[in-house]
Structure 1
């Protein structure tokens, strides 16, 4: 699952917590394997996400929906065992860079709902992961958040209980509290090393920005807060969005739970339901040396 922009990996900035002028080199155990292409995901295997468009190891079927083929090549859907995945073209609802706004003339939204309906009705699918490039929710101001996605897509994510929305665009890492109707339903704060557990059916959708995969890093208007370096994080944080006319608006939000200004990727390890145990998806953010900066478990039931 890649949701970002392919760029050369730079050196880390001076004073970076992991120090040294070495570009990210992901642990061998956490690299996407080309052998996974087109094959079912075995129980307990990992899905990985970074910030570049170059790696297609976890895209077994890149064919877009036929009716959208001429308007957008980034729209497609597939499954790995009990996980349904949907890739969306964020340009279609992007107000802050409107060159391709409404490029599918509403067809992508209709296709999205049809896919969400089918995946949620499939008894073999436990988790639905959606990944546009642009950020539906983010407090990083460099590229901001997308009001168009919040208005057009988030209601569908709520309706069909999407488990995880994974984006790039902002070159940082951020995870929200579970969100429904644009508001945090509760604080997903890590209680122990194993992390907190979110139930999307009760709590809402978790949004993750995984944009720190190699390009120059961006910044936040508030201090970082991540695993082992948590701050009180009890004050509203400003989110910048552009309205349809292109004018920026600043909104104070309370759902920005984890913020990390550094290079990392996201690994999701999925365990199907068995022997009375619910299906689980452990989502971790890892630096290039394998250090976890965030950990949360998404659980159905």
Structure 2
């Protein structure tokens, strides 16, 4: 392997032989579920959520600023108590403005995931991660493994390649690049993360978009469940839907991959569902 420009102070690392997926050193997680329906609370961590309507201005505390922690904590706990399977935090670096300041205030992916893990016990935690802004894989690897450990193995990842030119500019970059390049970057990032989470030795990784030498995500914590978190891939581009589109375990429009322990309320939910099917709503 020819090194690009290895730092002189590096420690010895094991060369990564696989730089793009598919790559699952411990096999893919088991995604089969007994239930066909997966309910997820989406975009609780951004102002207005996904509502672009000015109706939110009639009661800002309730409809616009529920993302602030005093409200969000109660919302997450109520969501879990209602039997939802997961919650998925929206990834946002710049909002859309307007009279409502749509999405202009928000919690970042790491804080939102870690705090929600601390106030819930069962619900899956799916965190959105933008991979196209040249953030080193080692930073993502450590943050995400720590959150998964705190949550008891409930973390899933929503991988986003990024396509907003304003966001690229905020990181000092010109973008977005072509769809092919964006998904190649996502592919390489996911593969790099799996190396960092699974290797017992420091790793040398020399991809086209990411390079690191002697890198290791410490001796722990590591993501539970086959050494990594579950990976979703969102978007509907041809490359995303194809074989090389993100190397995810499940598509983000069918988020059936967040782990969770048995729900003690499940018998109640099943009985209510049966009543609804018979038309005897209670």
Shorter-chain TM-score: which interval? 0.3 to 0.5
Structure exhibiting the larger radius of gyration computed from Cα positions: 2
Bigger strand fraction: 1
Bigger helix fraction: 2
TM-score, structure 1 as length reference: 0.34
TM-score, structure 2 as length reference: 0.36
Which one has more relative contact order, counting CA pairs under 8 Å at least 6 apart? 2
